[in-house]
Amino acid sequence: MLSITALTLLVGNATDFMANNWDSSPQLFHNTDLARIERITSLLTPDELYQSLEDNTEVCNTIEMVREDRTVGGGPDHPGKFVVEGDSSSSPTSGGPDHPGKFVVEGDSSSSPTSSAICDFKQFDEALLAQSKATILLPQAHKHFDELNNLACGVQSELGHVTGINVYLSPPNSHGFLLHKDGHDLIIVQTFGRKIWTICIPINIFQRFSVEGKHYGEGWVPSEKEYNCYNNVLTPGDVLYLPRGTLHRPSTTETEGSMHLSIGIDVRGFRWVDVIVAHLREPILLNKLSVEALGEIEKDGTEDALATKPPIAMLQSAFDHPVSGDWEWHTLFGAMAGMIPSISDDLGMLTRSAFPMHLLEGERIFEPVYDIHAKGKYMQMIDLMSQACPEMMESVVNQFHLTLGESTGSVTATNEAAFVAEKCASVLKEAFPPSSFRFLAQNMMFGAQRLYERKCVLKNLNFHVDPSRKGEL
C-alpha cells in the first residue's frame, strides 16, 4: 500500500494542484507511475461491483440505471427493479406508462418479472450491461466500500470540504449523462477502460463556479461564443479535475466499457460568502465576532464586558416595522449576502470562490503567508460589499415589503430603503473590521473539523479511521 495522502495519489503534487488548479480550471492528470496506477485501478473493479450487487442487497437496491439523462431502472423511485421479459436478443426499451422508471427488455413473455422481494440486479454482468446500453450509477459508494471511504475521508481532510464518491460503470458506445454541469467540484478517477470527456468552459469568467447544477437535454449544443469546448480521453489511472459549473459529458468508445469514480467536493457552506452568512444567521456568533473584532474581551478570556458594552450597529435594529417588528441589520445583510453570488462582477466572482479551508488545519491559520493572502481577500470582499450595499439594500428592503403585501413605492418603504442605503456601508465595516478575520477563519475551521469527525469517525460503523492518520491511504 502506498503511504501517501489522497490528493498526492490522485494528482501527484498536491501543492501544485492547490496553487494552479483548485477552484480555478479543469486539468487532466495523466499518471505514468506504475505503482500509483495499480493503486488507483485497484480502488474498485467492475468484478467487485458486480459481486457487490449479488452479495449486498443494500448496494443492489441503491444503484440506478441511466442512459442519456434518463433513469431506465432502479433509482429512489424503483429500488432494485429491472424487468426482463423474453430472450436477451430482443431490443431494449424504457419507461412509459406500463413500466415507469424501469428498463424493459421486450420479447418472448415466457419469463416473468422477478419477485419484488428480490433485487433484479443481483445477476447483472457485463453482457447484460452491454445489452442495456445503460450506465450503472452507485451513489454514495463510499458508504459501501472501505477503500472508497478512506479515499473520500482523505480528500475531505486535505481540502476541508464535504466529499463523497459516486461510481459509474458503463458499457461500450454509451452516454449515461448528456452535457450538464454540477454544483460541486469533481475529481474524476478512471479505474477501468477508456472514457471520452467533452468539457466546455464558460468564456465569461463571471459565469464560473456556479453551485446550481443543470442538465441541458438532448440536442442542446453550447454556443462557441459562450463556451470553449474540447475532449479529454481518460485511461486507467488518469484523473480529471472539473471545477463546479464546468459543462461536461462522458461517453465510452464503441469497443470498450469504462468505470470511473466521481469524487464530489461540495464547497457550499465554505465559500467566501459563507464566511459572512454563517455569522449573520447566528446572532450569538455575530455577537462574539463583534466583541472579538473590537477587542472588548478581557485578556483572561472572560466575557463579562459584554454586559456593559453597547452592541455595535450590526446588532441593533435598522428600523421598527409596525407589522413584522424589528428589521435588524444582520437580517438585512443576510438577505443581501444571499443575492451576491448571482452577480456577474468581481464581488459575485469572489464570493463564489472556495474559502481556503486547506490552509486552516492545525496552527497554519496563524502563518503570515495565510494572513497576507486570505485576509487580503477577506478585506477585499468587505470593501466590495460596502460599495455594492446601497443599491442592493434598497432592493432587499423593497422585497421585504412585497412579501408583506405592501407597495414598494410607499413613503414608509422609500424612507426605509433610503435609510439602509445611507448607513449600510459603515455598519458593515464596523461589524467586520480586519481584526475579525482570524475569528471567522477559526470558526470555519472548527465547522470543517466537526463535519470530518461526523462523517469519518463518529458515523463510521464499518471500520475505524485513525484521526491521527487522516488523509493517508
Does residue 240 or residue 302 have the better pLDDT? 240
pLDDT at res. 319 = 87
Bridge partners of residue 73, in order along the sequence: 65
Of the candidate ranges 242-246, 251-255, 287-291, the one whose mean pLDDT is the lowest: 287-291
Does residue 381 or residue 98 have the better pLDDT? 381
Whole-number average pLDDT of the chain: 84
C-beta of residue 39 within 8 angstroms of C-beta of residue 4: no
Of the candidate ranges 193-207, 254-268, 365-379, the one whose mean pLDDT is the lowest: 365-379
Nearest to 29 by CA among 201, 247, 179, 235: 235
Average pLDDT over every residue of 399-427: 87
pLDDT at res. 419 = 92
Q: How many whole angstroms separate alpha carbon 109 and alpha carbon 104? A: 12
pLDDT at res. 72 = 87
3-state secondary structure the chain: CCCCEHHHHHHCCHHHHHHHCCCCCCEEECCCCHHHHHHHHCCCCHHHHHHHHHHCHHHHHHCEEEECCEEEEECCCCCCCCEECCCCCCCEEECCCCCCCCEEECCCCCCCCCCCCCCCCCCCCHHHHHHHCCEEEECCHHHCCHHHHHHHHHHHHHHCCEEEEEEEEECCCCCCCCCEECCCEEEEEEEEECEEEEEEEECCHHHCCCCCCEECCCCCCCCCCCEEEEEEEECCCCEEEECCCCEEEEEECCCCCEEEEEEEEECCCCEHHHHHHHHHCCHHHHHHHHHHHCCCCCCCCCCHHHHCCCCCHHHCEEEEECCCEEEEHHHHHHHHHHHHHHCCCHHHHHHHCECCHHHCCCCHHHCHHHHHHHHHHHHHHHHHHHHHHHHHHHHHHHHHHHHCCCCCCCHHHHHHHHHHHHHHHHHHHHHCCHHHHHHHHHHHHHHHHHHHHHHHHHCCCCCCCCHHHCCEC
Question: With 70 as the cut, is the pLDDT of residue 94 above it?
Answer: no
Does residue 88 or residue 402 have the better pLDDT? 402
pLDDT at res. 184 = 96
The beta-carbon contacts of 57-64 under 8 Å, at least 24 apart in sequence, are 57/119, 58/144, 59/138, 59/144, 60/119, 60/121, 60/122, 61/119, 62/138, 62/139, 62/140, 62/144, 63/121, 63/136, 63/137, 63/138, 64/136, 64/137, 64/139
pLDDT at res. 113 = 39
Provide the pairing of β-strand 239-242 with 27-29: antiparallel
pLDDT at res. 443 = 87
- Single-letter code of the amino acid located at 301: G
Q: How many whole angstroms separate alpha carbon 165 and alpha carbon 143? A: 9
Of the candidate ranges 116-125, 224-233, 247-256, 341-350, the one whose mean pLDDT is the lowest: 116-125
Average pLDDT over every residue of 409-431: 90
Q: How many whole angstroms separate alpha carbon 423 and alpha carbon 406? A: 23
Q: How many whole angstroms separate alpha carbon 161 and alpha carbon 357? A: 7
pLDDT grade for 112, boundaries at 50, 70 and 90: very low
| pTM metric for this prediction | 0.85
Residues 35-79: tens digit of each pLDDT: 999 999 999 999 999 999 999 999 999 999 999 989 888 988 888
Nearest to 460 by CA among 48, 164, 150: 150
Average pLDDT over every residue of 306-319: 71
Question: With 80 as the cut, is the pLDDT of residue 170 above it?
Answer: yes
Question: With 80 as the cut, is the pLDDT of residue 293 above it?
Answer: no
- Single-letter code of the amino acid located at 281: R
Q: How many whole angstroms separate alpha carbon 244 and alpha carbon 175? A: 20
pLDDT at res. 468 = 44
Looking at domain 6-44+145-266, does it have CATH number 2.60.120.650?
yes
Q: How many whole angstroms separate alpha carbon 18 and alpha carbon 358? A: 9
Q: Give the residue extent of every domain in the chain.
A: 6-44+145-266, 272-452
Question: With 70 as the cut, is the pLDDT of residue 460 above it?
Answer: no
- Single-letter code of the amino acid located at 403: T
